[in-house]
Structure 1
């Protein structure tokens, strides 16, 4: 088995089609990442690849660019249209994300390269007409592709390229049997690429099934960006103190750029969202209980700058489900064959739910800050969360709130990060003077206590009703039963629960700490508005999107956002 070292190569040196190069230029990619430098030329040579690189290093483009190039080359001599490439992802969100990147890379040849995502949870018969034209690239989850093969709506006899993204999650998501069945439908000769963040045993097993004497490309990198790129901060605080500090960071404009706030439960997602809403801080939530379409929309809105903050629950629920699947597999091996079929069906139902997993691989763009409002209970979870920022060459910041009960796990995380970075001080204490925000503390505590369990329940029920109303599957039912729709619409309201206050968004001048007054005076212009914290005029969505794209391109030129605004201006 061959292993290679990376070489410095540029996109224009790779003999790529001009249409691909123009699309790359429009994306602002000046040069390939380290893994792309080696992977793209190797893939174009027709070699099977096993690509291992940390999230954010450009793995997706490293296999999509050669696939698109191969399609364009094939089209020059093809007599008729054929499906020649399949890309498998472990979740629907990742399928949609892959489709987005394909759309960006084929914007100059979209009429030539046809692609379809068949992963959405719709009936096979509905998608069948879309496949009659035989799109060159098919994106899917393994289980959905197998359904189409069983229904004979797709044939893989003409497939030349097979790509499996996030390969280390495929078996964990319960797709091992699906992959084994899919291979039976593939032709004898095809080129295959596996992309993974790790080289786990599952990846090694998958490699044996799919690859043929592959080239292994792996970056010699740590699991987390270096301290020069990613700054780690911590602050000791209990529940109400955390609420005060978080609201202060937002209302005193101590956070620059977009942020992901992590919590450990779905209910806490909504509690934090409703809490921040009282301070006129717009945020969306992301958790495993939301429908796939809603999760995709949340990520899309966040990436496009509709929201500056996204509140995500931890991947604990996913971990528990995967543990459940592995436990059932052990039970199947131990019990008699009479129970095997029943257990497999139950396991497959759980595995199907994982098509909507949001644990890893989702491409959050332009993230400047990760805030652990609740510290994760495992070291790997911390590394995963931190990996949402400081992607590529950009810088980022992680701020973790630590309560007394979490001291032990924090010390374990700190020791692990120190070993990875070969240092003794990866974490810096985040200086915060609670006395300076005493007047804001009363507001924060009042707002936090107002979000009770009943308020959270009411808010979640309203969201469920809205999803029912907007459901495409129920559209025909509501057309036949308009009274039911009227009842739901009357019950579903856009207003916030009664206990949620709306007057905390405007911050009077006297609440601003004296240490920040001179900064606020600089921001305050002609003084035509009373209260310097009144919301500014609404920015056109497209302008705001361009603003974020521009800021992302300049990320690598900025120092760490929290360090710039807080550590230098609000301490001492």
Structure 2
């Protein structure tokens, strides 16, 4: 049975209509940034409350996490007794584990701690995992590998799962097998009782999801929720508020195009840059540093604590550009399956096999996604573009396309077009050839200095700094969490200071067409900002979210700490006060005249 958005009841515009526990409803009303349930929540929550197995397909940023957390928490609050392993949420990455666990903890704290939450994947080492299992709470969030490892070693008795587990959720189901969790999922699901309610949540439906459906679900209700307009246009999985652009260039000119786009303000901040390899990420960072564009790097080599802190600082708006390594392509081969039909095993090494930021992670306030490297497939493009334009907000996805990548981008464009004839991925206005050529002499001079040894040294320096931040100072930060603000992840990695004149763009290097495009973009941003401050028209399928603040913060936990205010205050905290102060000074001058 398929359920789409148009079949939902018209009165289900508030959490009260979903039949949830009153404490849970009250908590949702107090949650910043949310006015009411989204379309996917209005459809999924009633079906899940009936105890049915469900398979949910919904766009990125549509509120899928709360769609399965709300009925799960409602069931836990009705139990009364506190026992571990009543509910289990399996996600592909540790970053997503923390995000889901934090969301559940927020709900628990505002519901009188009627249930507990354990993030099993955050422990890392086996000794810490054993200690966590001794005091495990009602709701457990983990990766499949962590739970399966505990089962194999006998740390987690299979009898516990068979007797206690009531709800199992596989979030980002289309990615679980890609990450090589096939054997781990088999180990876990073999010990799931028949009476357990199972839910599969995904942004796309593919062969992997069908395989998990046969493995986990029993006579499921299929819920496919996405806007009616997207069904006609074929924009499966991508919000219609996201604009798509391309920059056709030679592969060697990609660095130059990124620097021009960011330096000239052709793309809106905050910017999330995706690369396919760690070395490329550091190469982009070093190149941008030379032009005075500060950025941070996020990849699987960095310690877990550092990765989580980088995400927190980026979401708070303490830096504007984040270069993230998309490791999804490295985790899958051409077919994504082994010879026996199972997913290939993950490679063990210095990199964290459970790292991933392309899917599921809520990067708050991201206005532009910039694909420096082309994604592995169409689903990879969809999930990258899904990091912006979330919860009904506008965003842009800009892709740098070399000559040998044109065919793939045309395939993506046809997928986005659907039945429309108009091209979806359009050229980025303002990034003219003359503007790029104006930067070429400087860019080629900088690129010659970024050698393999320079990248290797920068990579080693970053790891040393983050290991120091993560391990040696861990106990201090546990006692003084506010001091984390002193750790800046956008520090320069260059061995010698760059040339000062590269940070400024003289007038003779500014192309008139580029300046006109920047001016138009600035006017467009002001109009969007003013419209967000005003009232939005109510519509049947409107996403009921409040607009994000200038810092990209939408949660109470994301407010700047006193230490952060002292460190970053001149840039972020006192802008409004300065504006008011200068405004009052001007008024007093007029009166004195």
Normalised by the length of structure 2, the TM-score is: 0.73
- Taking a change above 3 Å as real, the CA distance of residues 256 and 518 of structure 1, as seen in their structure-2 partners, is closer
In the aligned structure 1, how far is the partner of 2:276 from the partner of 2:126?
Answer: 36
In the aligned structure 1, how far is the partner of 2:286 from the partner of 2:100?
Answer: 32
* Alignment pair present for 1:14 and 2:18: yes
- Contact 2:238-2:385 within 8 A present in 1 as well: no
For 1:151, the equivalent position in structure 2 comes to 154
Instruction: Give the secondary-structure state (helix, strand or coil) at the position aligned to 1:401.
Output: strand
Instruction: Give the secondary-structure state (helix, strand or coil) at the position aligned to 2:454.
Output: helix
Residue from 90, 93, 109 that aligns with 2:92: 90
TM-superposed CA distance for 1:270, in Å, is 0.7
Instruction: Give the secondary-structure state (helix, strand or coil) at the position aligned to 2:114.
Output: coil
Residue from 241, 245, 250 that aligns with 1:238: 250
How many residues are matched? 494
Residue from 267, 287, 299 that aligns with 1:287: 299
In the aligned structure 1, how far is the partner of 2:98 from the partner of 2:261?
Answer: 33
Residue from 326, 329, 349 that aligns with 2:337: 326
Residue from 291, 296, 300 that aligns with 2:312: 300
Deviation track 1:128-171 (CA, whole Å, cap 9, x = no partner) reads: 34344441111111221133334344622222111111122233
In the aligned structure 2, how far is the partner of 1:279 from the partner of 1:117?
Answer: 41
In the aligned structure 1, how far is the partner of 2:389 from the partner of 2:373?
Answer: 20
TM-superposed CA distance for 1:73, in Å, is 1.6
In the aligned structure 1, how far is the partner of 2:204 from the partner of 2:427?
Answer: 31
* Alignment pair present for 1:365 and 2:371: no
- Contact 1:373-1:401 within 8 A present in 2 as well: yes
For 2:28, the equivalent position in structure 1 comes to 24
Which ranges of 4 or more aligned residues in structure 1 deviate by more than 6 Å?
473-476, 517-520
Single out whichever of 294-303 and 212-221 deviates more from structure 2.
294-303
In the aligned structure 1, how far is the partner of 2:196 from the partner of 2:167?
Answer: 6
- Contact 1:116-1:135 within 8 A present in 2 as well: yes
Counterparts in 2 of 1:57-136, with a 5 A limit?
A: 57-75=62-80, 78=81, 81-109=83-111, 111-120=113-122, 122-136=124-138
TM-superposed CA distance for 1:439, in Å, is 5.1
In the aligned structure 2, how far is the partner of 1:277 from the partner of 1:369?
Answer: 19
In the aligned structure 2, how far is the partner of 1:475 from the partner of 1:226?
Answer: 39
In the alignment, structure 1 segments of 5+ residues that lack a partner are 333-343, 477-492, 524-544, 553-572
For 1:433, the equivalent position in structure 2 comes to 432
Instruction: Give the secondary-structure state (helix, strand or coil) at the position aligned to 2:223.
Output: strand
Deviation track 1:248-286 (CA, whole Å, cap 9, x = no partner) reads: 332333332311222333222111111112222221223
- Contact 1:3-1:215 within 8 A present in 2 as well: yes
For 1:250, the equivalent position in structure 2 comes to 262
- Contact 2:239-2:389 within 8 A present in 1 as well: no
TM-superposed CA distance for 1:475, in Å, is 9.1
TM-superposed CA distance for 1:309, in Å, is 1.4
For 2:446, the equivalent position in structure 1 comes to 447
In the alignment, structure 2 segments of 5+ residues that lack a partner are 476-490, 523-547, 556-593
Residue from 256, 259, 262 that aligns with 2:271: 259
For 1:179, the equivalent position in structure 2 comes to 185
Deviation track 1:7-33 (CA, whole Å, cap 9, x = no partner) reads: 142312113234333433323212222
Single out whichever of 239-248 and 456-465 deviates more from structure 2.
239-248
- Taking a change above 3 Å as real, the CA distance of residues 298 and 20 of structure 1, as seen in their structure-2 partners, is same
In the aligned structure 2, how far is the partner of 1:189 from the partner of 1:550?
Answer: 40
Normalised by the length of structure 1, the TM-score is: 0.76
- Taking a change above 3 Å as real, the CA distance of residues 16 and 243 of structure 1, as seen in their structure-2 partners, is same
Instruction: Give the secondary-structure state (helix, strand or coil) at the position aligned to 1:255.
Output: coil
- Taking a change above 3 Å as real, the CA distance of residues 113 and 436 of structure 1, as seen in their structure-2 partners, is same
Instruction: Give the secondary-structure state (helix, strand or coil) at the position aligned to 1:549.
Output: coil
In the aligned structure 2, how far is the partner of 1:151 from the partner of 1:474?
Answer: 33
Single out whichever of 260-269 and 452-461 deviates more from structure 2.
260-269
- Taking a change above 3 Å as real, the CA distance of residues 112 and 225 of structure 1, as seen in their structure-2 partners, is closer
- Contact 2:246-2:400 within 8 A present in 1 as well: yes
In the aligned structure 1, how far is the partner of 2:59 from the partner of 2:456?
Answer: 38
For 2:49, the equivalent position in structure 1 comes to 44
RMSD of Structure 2 on Structure 1 (CA): 3.6
* Alignment pair present for 1:498 and 2:496: yes
TM-superposed CA distance for 1:118, in Å, is 0.8
* Alignment pair present for 1:203 and 2:178: no
In the aligned structure 1, how far is the partner of 2:217 from the partner of 2:328?
Answer: 32
For 1:55, the equivalent position in structure 2 comes to 60
- Contact 2:316-2:553 within 8 A present in 1 as well: no
For 1:531, the equivalent position in structure 2 comes to none
Instruction: Give the secondary-structure state (helix, strand or coil) at the position aligned to 1:28.
Output: coil
